Amino acid sequence: MIEKRSPGWLRVLEVLAGVLVLAVAFFVLADSSFALTVLAYTLGIGLFILGLSRIFAGIYGRYFAPWFREINTGGGIIALVLGIVVIIDPQFAIGFLTLLVAFALLVVGIVEIVAAGFAKHPPVWVRGLFGIVGVLTVILSVFVILDSSLGQLSLAVIMAIVLVAVGVRDIAHGISGHRPVKIDPGVITKI
């Protein structure tokens, strides 16, 4: 593989997209409740549209097996109802996502603690770090379960971190302007 420079206009677009994503990330950090509400509405609208498409696929999908049409229709109804619930009450979705993050943290923490106790291959100091990370993760999950605002802040911070990473990547790629190009191994060119 060799690399070829992207056209200038594409590089400018990548840099601008990266700057825009970084601005959104800082906006998420500045007003986390608004960002989470937008996330909830986006989730609700997405579920609503998915539900409608699955219902129509179940009703009008003549070439699908009958059991597949029933599954599509049933899943579509569930997605449609969940979408409506989230659109009507976005705080419900935010609370659910917060609890989901809390329980995910709890599971990750327990897995880290178990790995620290039973793993034989890493050195002792690495297993000790696993254990410390596991205990801290379990403690964090308990705090998130007890105080949902901490969980909502965690969701906003996670969103912001992902957005910052994407923005920085876009800017770096736009500045460097390189993209891989496959070359046929049978063709060798001399410079």
Domain ranges for the chain: 2-181
Report field, pTM of the whole predicted structure over 0.85: no
Q: Residue 68: CA atoms inside 13 Å, Cβ hemisphere, count?
A: 7
The H-assigned helical ranges of 6-147 are 8-30, 32-60, 66-88, 90-118, 124-146
pLDDT along the chain (191 residues), means of 10: 68 88 86 85 92 91 86 94 94 86 88 85 80 89 83 79 85 74 57 48
